[in-house]
Structure 1
Amino acid sequence: MLKKELINQSIDYILKHLDDDISVDDVANHFCYSKYYFCRSFKAVTGESVYEFIKRLKLDQSASEMKREKTKSITNIGMDYGYSSSNYSTAFQKHHNISPTEFRKSTEVTGMENPFYPAGLSDFETFDAYNSRISLQEFPDFLVIYERMIGNYIELKDNWFKFLDKYKNYMKADTLMIERFYDDPAITSLNRCLCDICLTTEDTCKLDNVTMLKGGRFAAYRYEGRIEDIFCTVQGIFSVWMPQSGYYMDGRCGLNIYRKIDKENGYVIMDVCIPIK
């Protein structure tokens, strides 16, 4: 069975080429894997077949783009992910149980249910309120130790504490704790959300699970508050600020950079960093 790290590399390759007409054969051939062996290993690690994974990512990412870029036509969004107009609508409806048109209407909201408080509704702030806490920043590339999580983002807190305990000997005074997030948990099935938990490290690190997070220009929102309220804050940024900002995501993944964590009280200071162009 292929090592988990090799499967992670194939996932990275798929993500990089998601807007191409990528196939299972393309991925297996790129890494010189036997197609049968690769497919069996991929499903064992991720719980999905390669084909299912690629199709789901296309439909989830296109829905996220529809939410952020409200003036871009549904047809053009579908075409960006390799679909004709009619095929995209059919595939989207089958996957999300809602038509693309109705989905876009459903994103015009002023609040959202918080999975940490299922009985309540959290209201979004205004564009100006979000904008006042956002600064444009240039980040370097970050060399990091990472572990990839596929599952519910609600489990991130516990996974973080286990991760920090596991790699405590690699932490220094200037070590940054970073999440690289791929999915919108309001769109992707909760048990399928993809996230990398990371610690910055030096190029002398000999661990296998080391990768580079791409830097560049980001819109950074400074969040200070409870861990349980991060979800709705991020949803508000993407639902309210992003569509009105005049900026677009450029294909890189978003980053959450933690500046302070109060484990006992569940309080954090962090920068929610959106890659922009």
Structure 2
Amino acid sequence: MANDYEKRLLRVLDYVYDNLDGDLSLDTLADVAALSRFHFHRVFTAVTGEPVAHFIRRVRLHRAGLELLSSDAPVADVAAKMGYDNARSFSRSFRDAFGRTPSEFRAHAQPVPPLRLGTSGETQMYDVKIEDQPARRLGVIDHRGPYIQIGEAFEKAGSTVMARGLGPHLGAMLGIYFDDPESGAAEDLRSAAGFEMDETAEIAPPLREVRLEGGKHAILTHTGPYTGLAQAYKYLFGEWLATAGEMPREAPPFELYVNTPMNTAPDDLVTLIGVPLL
């Protein structure tokens, strides 16, 4: 991992260790890392091998185990100190992690397993180039929910532009993905599906106009089924970005679909993942 990214993530780890009962939201940790809020969670997960919430939970429970063995503080006090709202949820999480309730753990004086940072393991290599991308004007349909269901938004966008006779004004088909799918509940994920449109085309509801800034981008080429895109993101944020000496902009990644499943076999689908760079 490049030294700059190492320093940024180590700052986050130190902050988590020192603020287990404080604000550990993704926005706060992104600020600590001085990374874009759109990309921080993807970078953290790709490099460490686990989502931020899983890491925080492990650290809290590890610290709680040490606290239980080194003090006689009530379980409720230990739970509060570790950032849990109530002793019941703390006890349930603790039992899931250690196989005993906090009281049983303390009574048996069971050694606390060492805390280890996860590792991302080996990842497949992909072709990534730094390119200047044009500014784009999009007409999109917003989607909220699992990314795997965004096809419905693409179908609605496609039907809308065709019904309005906008075919001659269309360019590439793109998807914008605002959240890391491992950062929270699938039903809360935000994305948008649509088409590049020229300046003469009217964009009216249910379509929404979105402007993507041009300029310097990392462009990863993925060939194959869409189910393999998660691995491509893992490489882009965990391997390439951390070693290329580049920093992402405060803007979400996008996918540009060179072809579609309507006329292309899954193994031949070509998708470009774009990450805006500073």
Q: TM (normalized to structure 2)?
A: 0.57
Give the aligned partner of residue 252 of structure 1.
Answer: 251
Matches within 5 A, 1:1-277: 69-73=5-9, 75=11, 86=19, 90-92=23-25, 96=53, 98-99=55-56, 105-106=117-118, 108-110=119-121, 124-125=123-124, 129-130=125-126, 133-168=127-162, 169-172=165-168, 175-208=171-204, 209-263=208-262, 265-266=265-266, 267-277=268-278
Contact 1:180 1:254 in 2 (8 A): yes
Single out whichever of 177-186 and 156-165 deviates more from structure 2: 156-165
Shift of 1:232: 2.0
Shift of 1:87: 7.0
**Larger-Rg structure:** 2
Q: Give the 3-state SS of the residue equivalent to 1:261 in structure 2.
A: coil
> Closer, same or farther in 2 for the Cα pair 1:205/1:78, shift >3 Å?
farther
CA contact (8 A) 2:154 2:194 kept: no
Q: Which has the higher strand share?
A: 1
Give the CA RMSD over aligned residues.
3.4
Q: Identity over aligned residues, as a percent?
A: 12
Q: 1:147 to 1:173 in 2, by over 3 A?
A: closer
- Unmatched runs of 5 consecutive residues or more in structure 2: 27-51, 61-115
Note the alpha carbon deviations across 1:131-190, whole angstroms, 9 max, x for none: xx1111111210110111111011123432332223223233861111122111122321
| SS of equivalent residue, structure 1 residue 178 | strand
Deviation sequence 1:101-123 (CA, Å, 0-9, x none)? 859933x2126xxxxxxxxxxxx
Aligned with 1:180: secondary structure?
strand
Runs of 4+ in 1 over 6 A off after TM superposition: 76-79
